[in-house]
Amino acid sequence: MTEVIWLHADGQLIRSVRLALGLSPSEFARLLSSRYWSEVPVAVLLGWEADAGKPPAGVLAAVRDVAEQCLDEPAVRDRVHDTSQEDLREAT
């Protein structure tokens, strides 16, 4: 299993994982809803991605769980790396 070190802020983490998995906001909201046991509205998800609010700890745990399960797939690992590099370019 791949060891993960989380360096993203909450909203950046959610966005990075969603993009790395190649999911739309509505697809990722449905996935998180199934893992979090509560509905995650798309508008709320997008707000978290924009750092417009703090997601509950359970949602962050679900995001990390999904990411850790998927990071062992080479194609996903490559997209995570590409997304992180893109975020670094946007920050400068």
Count of domains for the chain:
1
- Residue 21: what are its φ and ψ, rounded to 5°? -80, -10
Q: Give the domain extent around 34.
A: 20-91
Answer whether residue 30 is part of any domain. yes
pLDDT higher at 78 or 1: 78
3 in a domain, yes or no?
no
Does 1 map to a domain?
no
74 assigned to some structural domain = yes
**Banded pLDDT at 34 (limits 50, 70, 90):** confident
pLDDT at 2 exceeding the cut of 60? no
Up-side HSE of residue 20: CA atoms within 13 Å toward CB?
30
What is the structure's pLDDT at 50? 93
Q: Is the pLDDT of residue 74 over 80?
A: no
In a domain, 78, yes or no: yes
The number of beta carbons lying within 10 Å of the beta carbon of residue 62 is: 22
Q: Between 88 and 10, where is the model more confident?
A: 10
Q: Report helix, strand or coil for 51.
A: coil
Q: In this structure, is residue 13 part of a structural domain? A: no
* Span 53-78, average pLDDT: 80
Q: Is residue 5 included in any domain, yes or no?
A: no
In a domain, 35, yes or no: yes
